[in-house]
Amino acid sequence: MKGYHDIGGEPAGAIPMQEHEMMLWEKRVEAMLLLLSQKGLLRVDENRRGLEAVGAEIYHEAGYAERRIQSISTNLIAKGLISIEELAAKVADIEQRSDVLP
């Protein structure tokens, strides 16, 4: 069975031509991916597998950086580099803070 990421050759609509500048947070997602790869902590293939495991809904409906940060967090938890509890506590903390946006 084909994975939901394996879309080459499928029917689809018109190519969306509008350009948009990446936002800083999206660039930071790419920066984390590259740094984790360079440090040997997250191989590109592991990230690909993570992207292909976010679920069809997130894969197709969420934005590009959104599914990539989802993949990063899933991989880091699976590797034990961060825990679900730490992540949940950090997100709760961020929701109380006013300094989190650049």
Partner 1 sequence: MHIGHDHPHAHGEPPAGLDPHAPQRDHDDTLTYFRKLEIAVRELLIEKGVLTADEVRRTVENYDSRTPEGGARVVARAWVDPAFKALLMRDATAACESLGFDMNVFDVTLTVVENTPDTHNVVVCTLCSCYPRMLLGMPPAWYKSRAYRSRLVRDPRAVLREFGTVIDDAVAVRVHDSTADLRYLVLPMRPAGSDGLSEPELAALVTRDSMVGVTVLSPVQR
Residues near partner 1 (CB under 8 A) are: 5-25, 27-32, 34-37, 39, 41, 44-45, 48, 51, 60, 62-66, 69-70, 72-73, 76, 81-82, 86-87, 90-91, 94-95, 100-102
Alpha helices in 1-100 (DSSP H): 24-38, 44-51, 56-61, 64-78, 84-96
State the minimum distance, in angstroms, from the CB of residue 79 to partner 1: 11
- Is residue 54 within 8 A of residue 74, CB to CB? The reply is yes
DSSP tag of 12: -
In the complex with partner 1, which residue's Cβ is closer, 27 or 55? 27
